[in-house]
Amino acid sequence: MMEQESVRPFLLQARYGIEKESQRVTLDGELAKSNHPSTVGNRNFHPYIQTDFSETQLELITPVTESVEEVLAYLEAIHDVAQRSLPKDEMMWPFSMPPALPEKEEDIQIAKLEHHADVLYRRYLAREYGKRKQMVSGIHFNFEYGLDLVEQLFLAQTQETSLEDFKTHLYMKIARNFLRYRWLITYLFGASPLSEARYFDSEDRPNEPVRSIRTSQYGYVNKPDVQVSYESLTRYSQDLAENVALGRLSEEKEFYAPIRMRGGKKVADLFHTGIRYVELRNIDLNPFDRVGIDADEIKFIHLFMLYLLWTDEKLPADDWVAKGNHISDAVSLEHPTKTTAFYDEGQQIFTEMLQMIKELDLEGSDLVRTYQNWLDHPEETLAARIFVLDENEGQAAVATEWGRKFYEQAWAHPYQLAGFQEMELSTQNLLFDAIQTGIEAEVLDRHDQFVKLQHENHQELVKNANMTSKDTYIAPLLMANKTVTKTILARAGFRVPAGETFGSIEEAKKAYLRFAKKAFVIKPKSTNYGLGITIFKNETSIEDFNAGLAIAFAEDDAVIIEEFMPGTEYRFFVIDGQVKAVLLRIPANVVGDGERTISQLVAEKNADPLRGTHHRSPLEVIQLGALEQLMLKEQGLQINSVPEQGRQVFLRENSNVSTGGDSIDITDEVDESYKKIAIDAVAALGANISGIDLIIPDKDKPHENHEDYGIIEANFNPAMHMHIYPYAGKSRRLTMDVLRFLYPELTH
């Protein structure tokens, strides 16, 4: 069936979702004593960051995605958020097996959930299985065949007449084949060879090392009397119901199968919904990857799932599954560096997989061959590699070291969000905050910085982290038109620099009398690195005026003569009628120490991890190009000059952060009266999110009259990252302010 023309275009269509558990530990590898981080949104609704059995056990959950890249991007991002939401002295334990457990079982904290039923269920589990076994962690991998694929398979057969029934039969077959062949997953990716102190509290324990304690009979499994048939959904459901009725299980979800059929809230729901997808539960944490699973592993599992569809069952259902369980138990407890007893069957599975790949013209044969090779080289399997490392250093030391490595990774560039690093920093920050808060965040277009947010029925679209439904269509168009903006602000009573634009030098010369006695600036209409600009502060002669015009017209066909406003320019970031940040930007500079050259000082300043290139960091490195050298020359300096102790040397005229300028947060220092002006001016423009630039001669002296400030412009797509990660001063988490504005119901 899978070879049919109609089916083949859709073979690789699938949807994935990952749940990953991790124990929170201190940087010394001890189980954390703290509560679930309060920086993270409420566990009542949080879609990404939950707790499993114990208060220390994080459960990280990706949304359902349609590609390997996407599911890993989300898992990476959620990891960054989870790690950076923990106290600075905590990290995630990278192994499935928990760190050394407390001596007293009561010191293992059950998750402090709000809903009493959730707590009661965990208490029941603690009584029934003991708390220690619940502390193991792993990956739950949700897998769904593509809808087109299933539909085409349905159309290609004649036995089933209902698509829902067909799907259910298909997934039941998958479940049986998975149970039969799942040992191969354990062989390759089993990664819990050794337990840590006090995981086992009795002599009923394996003879370590093994391939996977977690998937073995010593792992977290149901008691042997719980038996369920996979022959059909009807029998499966009946058996589960019987186990619950007889009290062997408290409820259906206590059935810890290596594969679960999903689709409705309860198993009985599957009869109307059909089985929609399966949850694979036998995957240990891969400690060589900080998110516990890597792309190759997922791609292999995908091909393995296609193989389970492709291959026929060779025994009656219950026998087939029982045989699989038997082999799985055996492989789990094999010594990790030894050849498996099921080597031949392994070779057969790989050979058939490669045959399938060839016949269906799929990609992935190299990958399958790599893993096939591990049959001959058990030392390549995850369990073996961990065991070898453990033998040398001790498992706790290895886990701590690796946990720290991942911890350092998460903190190295805190302004970035793994998985989304090619997006704008402000969008990365917004995604971080949404994930942390528990707002569902989906990137609709990475290149266009288009994000969809959702909480319950409340959807919001956000572009560039600041373009939202909270502003009107017309407000940014107004701000984009600098002339009209000035008109509106001036009419509303704000001071803006009066100016005129001239298209010819003759026309401009006639304006002399109107400006001669004022302070004014002549500049090309399109300013470019300050070229062609002349500032006149006192009474200006006609000769100087005309000379200034000549300089400006040499740079552009149109020239602006504008009132000059003395003072310093500040960016006020207004959101929802409040000034959330005020920033001073100063041009690229270094401060001399009387010893080092300018180029050495620049190199040192550029070593700051906040500085990078191409807007991948909140600050840009200082260049030493032609413009900077010209600027030095004008000050009588060269890149090899050694400025004296304390002398600030500027390398640029313009204060843009994008050309190496420094950003300095002064939100708490600027007088409140100027904040009021910024708020009122943004309101006069009808805007709700805007970065408005004010010139202020003395920011400490309260605003008194029309002369003590001027509004330069208002920006409809203001940079946010420079406020969140300033060169100096306090961080202002503007992306969180945007979320608060969009979702007051969540954040107020």
DSSP state, 728?
A: B
Measured from the Cβ of residue 719, the count of other Cβ atoms closer than 10 Å reads 25
Q: Lay out the site mask for a copy of itself across 7-46 (x = CB under 8 A, - = otherwise).
A: -xxx------------------------------------
Q: Is 526 in the site for a copy of itself (CB under 8 A)?
A: no
Q: Does 469 participate in binding a copy of itself (rule CB under 8 A)?
A: yes
* Of 181-189, 196-204, 405-413, 509-517: span binding a copy of itself (CB under 8 A): 509-517
Of 136, 249, 257, 478, the one binding a copy of itself by CB under 8 A? 478
Backbone phi, psi, residue 432, to 5°? -55, -50
Residues 6+ apart with CB under 8 A from 196: 97, 98, 99, 100, 101, 395, 396
**Shortest gap between Cβ of 445 and a copy of itself (angstroms)?**
5
CA dist 745 and 78 (Å) reads 23
Task: Give me the DSSP letters along 284-340.
Answer: EP-TTSTTS--HHHHHHHHHHHHHHHHSPP-S-HHHHHHHHHHHHHHHHTS-TTSPP
* CA nearest to 721, candidates 412, 431, 419, 407: 431
Tell me which stretch binds a copy of itself (CB under 8 A): 228-236, 374-382, 514-522, 653-661: 514-522
Stretch that binds a copy of itself, among 175-183, 242-250, 324-332, 462-470 (CB under 8 A): 462-470
- Selected from 248, 470, 615, 733, the binder of a copy of itself by CB under 8 A is 470
Task: For residues 197 and 219, give the distance between their C-alpha atoms in angstroms, rounded to a whole number.
Answer: 15
Strand-strand pairing, 440-445 and 277-284? unpaired
445 touching a copy of itself, by CB under 8 A: yes
Where do the H-state alpha helices sit in 61-146?
68-85, 116-129
Q: How many Å apart are CA 385 and CA 374, to the nearest integer?
A: 12
Q: Which residues of 237-257 are buried (b: 16+ CB within 10 A; e: fewer)?
A: bebbeebbeeeebeebebbeb
Task: Determine if 151 is a binding residue for a copy of itself (CB under 8 A).
Answer: no
> Is 26 buried (19+), middle (13-18) or exposed (0-12) by CB count in 10 A?
middle
Distances, alpha carbon 592 to alpha carbons 619, 626, 648, 649, 654, in Å: 20, 21, 6, 7, 20
Among residues 476 and 618, whose Cβ is nearest to a copy of itself?
A: 476
From 288-296, 482-490, 564-572, 661-669, span contacting a copy of itself (CB under 8 A): 482-490
515 versus 570: smaller Cβ distance to a copy of itself: 515
Q: How far is the CB of 5 from a copy of itself (least distance, A)?
A: 7
CB of 730 to a copy of itself, least distance (A): 28
- Please count the other Cβ atoms lying within 10 Å of the Cβ belonging to residue 658: 12
Instruction: Identify which of residues 244 and 490 has a Cβ nearer to a copy of itself in the complex.
Output: 490
Binding mask 638-677 for a copy of itself (x = CB under 8 A): ----------------------------------------
Residue 474 binds a copy of itself, judged by CB under 8 A: yes
Near a copy of itself in 714-733, by CB under 8 A: 716
Residue (180 or 580) nearer to a copy of itself, CB: 580
Among 253, 405, 509, 517, binds a copy of itself (CB under 8 A): 517
CA 667 from chain centre, in angstroms, equals 28
Instruction: State the CB neighbour count (10 A cutoff) for residue 210.
Output: 25
Q: What is the 3-state secondary structure (H, E, C) of 364-410?
A: CHHHHHHHHHHHHCHHHCHHHHHHHHHHHHCHHHHHHHHHHHHHHHH
* Under rule CB under 8 A, residue 457 binds a copy of itself: no
x/- site string to a copy of itself, residues 685 to 704, per CB under 8 A?
Answer: -x------------------
- Euclidean distance between CA atoms 542 and 112, whole angstroms: 79
Q: By CB under 8 A, name the one of 473, 506, 645, 700 that touches a copy of itself.
A: 473
- Candidates 513, 607, 636, 748: give the one binding a copy of itself (CB under 8 A): 513
Among 27, 295, 397, 477, binds a copy of itself (CB under 8 A): 477
Instruction: Return the residue of 147, 388, 467, 551 that touches a copy of itself, per CB under 8 A.
Output: 467
CB of residue 512 to a copy of itself, shortest distance in Å: 8
Q: Does 487 bind a copy of itself (CB under 8 A)?
A: yes
370-429: contacts with a copy of itself (CB under 8 A):
none
Say how far apart CA 375 and CA 339 lie, in whole Å. 7
Which one of the spans 5-13, 196-204, 402-410, 412-420 is the region binding a copy of itself (CB under 8 A)?
5-13
Counting contacts by CB under 8 A, is residue 542 touching a copy of itself? no
Under the binding rule (CB under 8 A), the answer on residue 706 touching a copy of itself is no
Our CB check for a copy of itself shows the closer of 9 and 87 to be: 9
User: What distances in angstroms separate CA 560 from CA 538, 551, 742, one per listed residue?
Assistant: 18, 12, 39
CA distance 224 to 366: 40
Burial of 615-645, coded b for 16+ CB within 10 Å and e otherwise, reads eebbbbbbbbeebbbebbeeeebeeeeebee
Instruction: Please report whether residue 504 would count as binding a copy of itself according to CB under 8 A.
Output: no
- β-bridge mates for residue 522, sequence order: 534, 561
Contact residues for a copy of itself (CB under 8 A)?
5-6, 8-10, 444-445, 448, 450, 452, 460-463, 467-478, 481, 483-484, 487-488, 511, 513-514, 516-517, 686, 716
